[in-house]
Structure 1
């Protein structure tokens, strides 16, 4: 990944401020999700995280033989 500046390009969802950030106006990496290709994608970052976590949890359950 190219991290050419504070934001490294793209759009980010800031967990501290609950907003989309880009360019030089971004919080430190520990407070953001991304980068995303568009501001709209960044706005849906928490939905994306939830969907991925559910998929990974289901895969973990399948792998260990747990029934959910």
Structure 2
């Protein structure tokens, strides 16, 4: 098994785990955004919300 095959296998396993735990990942994204908003006094809330939405779009749907 070559290096690329190993990477493909790890990537597939990562996608599977992300799919299984998508609700927890989305919760972590929300929590991180809340912390940033709190630390910046909401000054960048619009940008944080946009980043949160983009991050959530990358998470594979729950199977």
The bucket for the TM-score relative to the shorter chain is 0.3 to 0.5
RCO higher in 1 or 2 (8 Å CA, sep ≥ 6)? 2
If each structure's helix is expressed as a fraction of its own residues, which one has the higher value? 2
Structure (1/2) with the larger strand percentage? 1
